[in-house]
């Protein structure tokens, strides 16, 4: 763990930099004030020197000019420049036309900045002065001279340098004082940080030493309060975790027991559902047997009547033949009656044979789930033939709109059970008892791949709130009145399972119901399903 922060994040470094910047600001503020004051002093001093020097030169130039002429005045100018006490740099006397009469040191000085401000000239080290030359209060020319301010500028620079040295000494002393005072603080900070590191590492019994009554001592006391609270809470957390482990173990045992109970209940429910589905299928097969038996009763009864009638006629014919009084007309009547009986018996027995054949095929399909190619219209007609008794009870008219050319390679057994369940559902739910109605079975082929089979009725319709539940197992609106709630569930499973399609229901109350099946013309290539 890094005990000390980086330099830019250190509070002491920030305090030092703050004080340093503060002292620098104070220094610059003092420098500006001192510079302003010294500049004012320099200007006043220079103006005073200019005035005094001008008066002295005016008083001295006139006698020298009168006594010794311009040659004496030139010597006087050179003597003044040689004497450094006045600070003169150059001297020049001009006539009233601007021509130089006498000069000394002028050729060594750049007078181009003589039009600058007085402060600027002072900074440059030479002040250029132009004064009128008066004799008996009459101006006879100009006196131009330059005063040196370098000595004064050097004094100002020494003052600035002394201020800078004082500031550096103050900063150094402040840094030393801060360093010396932080030695003791460092030890206390280190102890506090070590205690924090130990607490973060898991030593919840660690405490920071409390010495004195300053801010660090208050911080250490607060740290100790926090450490005690953390230790108490960690102990409570450890105790809670132990309780949680025990509760988890108990919960796992209860979940395992409950899971076993639920699995047992689910298996029992699945077994019950399977048995109910099998019962529903057997009930459908029983209804099929009952229907076929009812249908067979008429042709077989007619054939039996014909055979009985033939037997009676044969006895009568044989008696007349034994008596020897048989006439030709009687023989012809007998032959005609036998032919009619033969035709009637053959027609009824053929109808019975067709019924038995259809029943046999439907029964085989519904009990074996064998895949084969079959004509859709013929299969649907065979199925409808077996459920005619169920339709006659409610005066239901079933119509087919199926092309004779539609051939399906699929499972006729599940398809037959689907049609039987949907027609039976319509008979039970769509029409009230004794009510007549119509059921239409239509089929079209889409894209030479799909078969769309629609079973529609013009009955009462299904309420909107029931549409989403009609395929749920055990959902029925006629519980206890012959409805098991499994018919449409079986239909949905057969369509979406073995036939590889889908089914939708569309209905409006009072406008009938349409069940639309979309199944492939060639069933999915699943292995043959044989129900146990």
Question: What pLDDT score does 506 carry?
Answer: 92
CATH number at residue 75: 3.30.450
Check if the beta carbon of residue 91 is closer than 8 Å to that of residue 81: yes
Query: Which strand (E) or helix (H) includes residue 138?
Result: strand 138-148
* Number of domains present in the structure of the chain: 2
List, in order, residues 6 or more apart from 324 with CB less than 8 Å away.
Answer: none
Residue 341 domain-assigned?
no
Burial status of residue 276 (CB atoms within 10 A of its CB: 0-12, 13-18, 19 or more): middle
Residue 32 domain-assigned?
yes
Residue 151 domain-assigned?
yes
Check if the beta carbon of residue 94 is closer than 8 Å to that of residue 131: no
Look up residue 349 and give its two tokens: 């027995």
- The CA distance from 509 to 198, in Å, is 78
Beta-ladder partners of 330: none
Residue 318 domain-assigned?
no
In terms of Cα–Cα distance, which of 194, 153, 384 is closest to 288? 384
Given 130, 156, 176, the domain boundary residue is 176
- The CA distance from 317 to 314, in Å, is 5
Question: What pLDDT score does 401 carry?
Answer: 92
CATH number at residue 398: 3.30.565.10
Look up the domain containing 472 and give its range: 370-532
Alpha helices (H) in 83-149, listed in sequence order: 118-124
Question: What pLDDT score does 1 carry?
Answer: 42
Question: What pLDDT score does 132 carry?
Answer: 79
Question: What pLDDT score does 3 carry?
Answer: 43
Question: What pLDDT score does 392 carry?
Answer: 58
State the pTM of this model: 0.40
Given 141, 156, 176, the domain boundary residue is 176
Which phi and psi angles does 109 have, rounded to 5°? Answer: -120, 140
pLDDT in tens, the chain (532 residues): 444 455 556 666 777 678 778 877 877 787 777 777 777 777 787 788 778 877 777 777 767 666 667 777 777 777 777 775 557 878 888 877 778 888 787 777 777 777 778 777 777 778 888 877 766 566 667 888 887 777 777 777 787 788 778 878 877 887 777 777 666 677 777 777 788 888 888 887 888 787 777 777 788 888 888 888 888 888 888 888 888 888 888 888 889 888 888 888 888 877 776 666 566 555 555 655 665 666 666 777 777 787 788 887 788 777 777 877 777 777 777 777 777 777 777 777 777 766 666 555 555 545 556 788 999 998 888 888 777 766 655 578 888 999 999 999 988 888 888 888 888 888 888 887 777 888 999 999 998 899 999 999 988 888 888 888 888 877 777 655 555 567 788 888 889 988 889 999 998 888 889 999 999 999 887 554 444 3
Residue 153 domain-assigned?
yes
Beta-ladder partners of 455: 441, 515
In terms of Cα–Cα distance, which of 259, 256, 204 is closest to 227? 204
- The CA distance from 387 to 436, in Å, is 16
Residue 249 domain-assigned?
no
Neighbours of 331 (CB within 10 A): 13
- The CA distance from 311 to 182, in Å, is 140
Given 126, 142, 176, the domain boundary residue is 176
Residue 211 domain-assigned?
no
Residue 255 domain-assigned?
no
């Amino acid at each position: 763990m890094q005990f000390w922060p980086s330099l830019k994040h250190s509070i002491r470094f920030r305090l030092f930099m703050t004080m340093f910047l503060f002292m620098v600001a104070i220094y610059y503020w003092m420098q500006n004030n001192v510079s302003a004051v010294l500049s004012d002093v320099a200007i006043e001093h220079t103006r005073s020197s200019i005035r005094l020097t001008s008066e002295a030169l005016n008083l001295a130039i006139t006698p020298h000019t009168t006594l010794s002429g311009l040659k004496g005045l030139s010597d006087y100018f050179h003597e003044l420049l040689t004497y450094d006490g006045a600070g003169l740099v150059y001297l020049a006397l001009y006539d009233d036309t601007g021509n130089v009469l006498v000069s000394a040191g002028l050729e060594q000085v750049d007078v181009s900045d003589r039009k600058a401000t007085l402060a600027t000239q002072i900074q440059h080290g030479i002040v250029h002065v132009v004064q009128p030359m008066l004799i008996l209060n009459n101006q006879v020319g100009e006196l131009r001279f330059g005063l040196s301010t370098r000595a004064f500028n050097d004094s100002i620079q020494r003052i600035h340098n002394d201020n800078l040295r004082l500031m550096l000494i103050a900063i150094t002393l402040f840094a030393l004082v801060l360093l010396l005072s932080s030695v003791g603080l460092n030890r206390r900070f280190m102890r506090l940080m070590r205690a924090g590191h130990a607490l973060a590492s898991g030593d919840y019994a660690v405490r920071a030493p409390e010495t004195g009554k300053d801010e660090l001592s208050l911080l250490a006391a607060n740290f100790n309060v926090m450490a005690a609270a953390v230790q108490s809470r960690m102990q409570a957390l450890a105790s809670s975790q132990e309780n949680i482990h025990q509760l988890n173990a108990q919960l796992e045992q209860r979940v395992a027991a409950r899971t076993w109970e639920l699995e047992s209940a689910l298996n029992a429910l699945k077994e019950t559902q399977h048995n109910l589905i099998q019962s529903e299928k057997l009930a459908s097969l029983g209804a099929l047997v009952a229907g076929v038996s009812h249908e067979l009763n008429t042709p077989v009864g007619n054939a039996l009547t014909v055979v009985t009638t033939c037997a009676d006629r044969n006895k009568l014919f044989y008696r007349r033949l034994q008596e020897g009084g048989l006439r030709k007309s009687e023989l012809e009547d007998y032959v005609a009656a036998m032919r009619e009986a033969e035709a009637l018996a053959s027609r009824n027995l053929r109808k019975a044979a067709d019924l038995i054949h259809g029943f046999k095929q439907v029964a085989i399909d519904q009990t074996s789930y064998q895949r084969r190619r079959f004509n859709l219209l013929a299969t649907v007609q065979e199925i409808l033939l077996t459920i005619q008794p169920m339709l006659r009870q409610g005066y239901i008219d079933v119509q087919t709109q199926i092309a004779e050319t539609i051939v399906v390679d699929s499972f006729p057994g599940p398809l037959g059970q689907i049609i039987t369940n949907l027609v039976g559902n319509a008979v039970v739910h769509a029409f009230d008892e004794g009510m007549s109605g119509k059921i239409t079975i239509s089929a079209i082929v889409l894209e030479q791949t799909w078969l769309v089979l629609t079973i529609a009725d013009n009955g009462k319709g299904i309420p909107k709130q029931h549409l989403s539940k009609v395929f749920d197992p055990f959902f029925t609106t006629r519980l206890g009145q012959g409805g098991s709630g499994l018919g449409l569930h079986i239909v949905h499973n057969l369509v979406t399972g073995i036939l590889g399609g889908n089914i939708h229901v569309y209905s409006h109350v009072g406008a009938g119901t349409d069940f639309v099946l979309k199944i492939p013309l060639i069933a999915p290539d699943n292995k043959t399903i044989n129900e146990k």
